[in-house]
Amino acid sequence: MAYLGCGERRKNPLRTKKEFPDKHIFVSGYSNEVMCYIPSERVLKEGGYEADSSMIYYGMPGPFEKGIEEKIMSAIYLTLKKLK
């Protein structure tokens, strides 16, 4: 199980299952805390509420930078490597 303290786009759990087909991974957002919603790269590029201003309501300083999706996936990869 991968627990994230944020709102998670549907894409990351699907990508995780696709990239790790031999693992039974369940990605759960808003676990143990609610730090904010984390947009996908596509949503960041498109802009709008979820990409530009939703984090204001969670006390975050501003939008995420490009690459946040890859940082999350990298953390999942590193965690899975440690479990082997």
List all residues 6 or more positions away from 82 whose beta carbon is below 8 Å from its beta carbon.
Answer: none
Give the 3-state secondary structure of residue 56.
Answer: helix
Per-residue pLDDT tens digits of the chain, which is 84 residues long: 666 656 665 566 677 777 778 877 777 766 777 677 778 888 889 988 778 888 888 788 888 889 988 888 888 788 877 876
Q: What are the residue ranges spanned by the domains of the chain?
A: 2-83
- Residue 83 corresponds to which tokens in the numbers above? 């479990």
* C-alpha triplet 38, 8, 74: angle, nearest 5°: 75
> Alpha carbon 2 to chain centroid distance?
10
